[in-house]
Amino acid sequence: YGFIPNGGRIYYLNRSQPPLLIQMVRRYYEATNDVDFLNKAMPTLEKEYQYWMTKHSVVLSDGSILNRYHVNNSEPRPESYMQDVNLSLSVPSSYIPSLFEQIATGAETGWDFSTRWMKNPPLLSSLQPSNIIPVDLNTILYMNEVAMTFFYKVVNDEKNELLYQQRAEDRSAAIMTYLWNPDTLAWNDYVFTNDSYITDFYPSQLVPFWAGLFQYLQPTELEQMLERYTSLFIYPYGVPTSTINSGQQWDFPNGWAPLQYFIVEGMANIAESSVVTPYARNLALNISSDLIDDWIHTNYCGFFFSKNSPMMFEKYDVECLGVPGKGGEYVVQDCFGWTNGVALHFLSKYGNTIIFNE
């Protein structure tokens, strides 16, 4: 298909998963040093990268290229047919095809759904993800370009190594030009259709720390950012997906494992960096250690004190110990892969330092 479909049924073939395949291959290669596997994988990785650059790119006013989620769709989603039809009754008939496109695009983001994508929160009918250049998507693609640079070096392809090195440099510059907001001291999603920022808090703002993009900040900017995030991260069992309780699952009070991962690994990058101040390093270490403790604590209690049998949940309520999240279109799912994976990662990497406060 040239991309990773959003699901395993044929009606998911018009939308992708977020582009994390290249990062998965990098993790595998780092664990195995299997050059033969990497050589075999390169055509597939190249194909997925080109899919995102041809189907999901936006050329901005200065010629910079960044990416968005976008699904060509004018029908209700088969997996949520009645929900989409019922929602369409709330908008003018002329807008219904566009609404279905925005709904499907929202599903492609992985954040289905969130006030992050709404023009007029909390109205689901005001979804506009196709109009937004997301911070986290472009950070992932930057890291993909960095990874492809490394892969082509491993397989001795200097031409493509230099090509991807330039692409990574161009994207990091575009991220700092279009997604860095000096007024909020944050990386904010950019609504390119009206040249505006989405300035409400979402953990996606911290994903550039995972990519090391803090290197482009002034020391005082980084310190102020970390001070602000410290004041925001006041919930006892993780970082919420937003501060808005909209009833959608990618909003307050739900915390999701992948977002905790990006925050923790971003803080670890800051703590290990030689270009930050000691004060910033200490702030990052405190954020990271507190979040790891809190997240593993709620995972542990949710697992052992589930009503029926031990369970790991797809999302958790950051205000209530061990309690699964809520909201959205379906009942909370259990035995969820990314929750398991992040818990195992935290236990493997940080297990000797985890402290339960209760």
Which residue numbers are catalytic?
A: 112, 314
For residue 122, say if its preceding peptide bond is cis, omega within 30 degrees of 0: yes
Which two tokens mark 252? Answer: 């307050």
In contact, 134 and 18? CB cutoff 8 Å: no
| CA 297 to chain CA centroid, nearest Å | 23
Number of helices followed by number of strands (H, E) in the chain = 11, 9
- What DSSP assignment string belongs to 141-165? HHHHHHHHHHHHHHTT-HHHHHHHH
- Residue 274 Cα distances to 142, 158, 270, 271, angstroms: 22, 29, 8, 8
In contact, 311 and 303? CB cutoff 8 Å: yes
CA–CA separation, 269 and 358 (whole Å):
29
What does DSSP assign to residue 18?
Answer: P
